[in-house]
Amino acid sequence: MSNLRLRRVEVLAHARAQALQRWRRAGHGAGLGRPEQSSGYLRFAARGGEGEWRGLTGAQDWLSHALPGLRALLSDACPDTRIVRLFQAVAQPLVLPVDELRYHELIDIELITAAPQPVHDWPWLDTPRGRVWVTQLPAPRSLSRPVSAPLWLRGLPLRLELLLGVSHLRQDSRARLGVGDVLRITHRTDQCLLAGQCIGHFTFTPEGIHMQSTLAEPLQQHTEETPAQADLATLPLRLEFLLARQDTDLGTLAQMIEGQLIALTSDAAQHIEVRANGKPVARGELVQLEQGLGVEVLEVYRSEPPL
């Protein structure tokens, strides 16, 4: 894989950019930046249905939005130390307009005199109770011998598929799949498939794909037992990431798996087919994702994939 030139995706930066796009598409005021250092901030952790996330909001900004009448009655500015107690006393101190940030509990609430300066910009979201900086987003919901055949069979058409790997996706996450999402390849296979059977494995070289034959073995399905009462929306989908597909015949195939190379087109990494339970659902670009691989979605097939 080191010989294939891939665009590198920094996981956290990509997650922040994707969150920002989702919030803006929904019509919310949002952006990336760094908090000002002019006033105190309320730092907290939030627990919700999408997992735990962390953020902060300006103490005075929150008070002016959450309790505007109280601030108007005060002759002097309310000290930040009192604001944090008010923040802790209110049942729902934050009103968040996006589902992924909805919470049922705030914990680790504390007052900090100045916002920490992050290495990267943080996403922020304007809410009815002031601007909220999200410092940590919720975690995303993770042939040993040559083929021989009679001469009359060697011309039969076959389809060879090069499978990069597989992962699993919940049904409800499939419905939210959109352009720009990155799907992590959790289980690398690098298999050469013929009629659903593994006939070998492949490696990347500067010249193309090098195939190595193995004993024929059925493609593993990695199935898991599902409780009888499981919600249909939570049933996992098996995702497959297809690097290339090539029509060939037995004669040519026999030469390929004996060590010859398969040349890749220059844009092969931008045409990874994503299949859910065997059906094409998206097209994406193969990217370097920290120490592993991922596929950034370029196109989602809402109906039938293009021919």
The tokens of 60 are what? 């005075």
Query: What local confidence, expressed as pLDDT, does residue 149 receive?
Result: 52
What percent of the chain clears pLDDT 90, i.e. is strictly above it?
27
Provide the pLDDT confidence category of residue 27 given band limits of 50, 70 and 90.
very high
* 80-89 vs 59-66: helix crossing angle, rounded to 10: 50
Q: For residues 1 and 204, is the Cβ–Cβ distance under 8 A?
A: yes
What percent of the chain clears pLDDT 70, i.e. is strictly above it?
74
Give CA–CA dist 166/185, Å, rounded.
Answer: 6
Give CA–CA dist 60/83, Å, rounded.
Answer: 8
Provide the pLDDT confidence category of residue 259 given band limits of 50, 70 and 90.
low
Domain boundaries of the chain, sorted by first residue: 12-136, 141-219+233-300
Question: What is the helix (H) or strand (E) element at residue 171, kind and residue range?
Answer: helix 171-175
The tokens of 82 are what? 């009192």
Query: What local confidence, expressed as pLDDT, does residue 118 receive?
Result: 82
| Phi/psi-derived region of residue 277, left when phi > 0, alpha when psi is between -120 and 50, beta in every other case | left
Q: Which CATH number is 141-219+233-300's, of 3.10.580.10, 1.10.287.3510, 2.30.330.10, 3.40.50.1980?
A: 2.30.330.10
Query: What local confidence, expressed as pLDDT, does residue 207 receive?
Result: 64
Query: What local confidence, expressed as pLDDT, does residue 182 receive?
Result: 85
- DSSP letter at 224 equals -
- Using CA of residue 151, residue 153, residue 155, residue 160, what is the dihedral sign? negative
Give CA–CA dist 118/303, Å, rounded.
Answer: 42
Query: CB pairs under 8 A, 24+ apart, for 280-283?
Result: 280/305, 281/174, 281/177, 281/305, 282/177
Lowest mean pLDDT among 130-134, 186-190, 198-202: 198-202
Tens digit of each residue's pLDDT (9 = 90 or more) over 199-257:
788 887 766 777 777 644 444 444 444 344 444 445 566 788 888 877 777 677 666 65
Q: For residues 26 and 96, is the Cβ–Cβ distance under 8 A?
A: no
Nearest to 239 by CA among 290, 197, 300, 288: 300
Bigger pLDDT: 71 vs 233: 71
Lowest mean pLDDT among 162-176, 214-228, 285-299: 214-228
The tokens of 59 are what? 């103490």
Check whether 39 has a pLDDT greater than 70: yes
| Mean pLDDT confidence for 269-294 | 86
| Mean pLDDT confidence for 23-40 | 90
Check whether 289 has a pLDDT greater than 90: no
Query: What local confidence, expressed as pLDDT, does residue 68 receive?
Result: 79
Query: What local confidence, expressed as pLDDT, does residue 222 receive?
Result: 42
Give CA–CA dist 123/22, Å, rounded.
Answer: 11
Mean pLDDT of the chain: 79
Provide the pLDDT confidence category of residue 261 given band limits of 50, 70 and 90.
low
Lowest mean pLDDT among 16-25, 27-36, 84-93, 151-160: 151-160
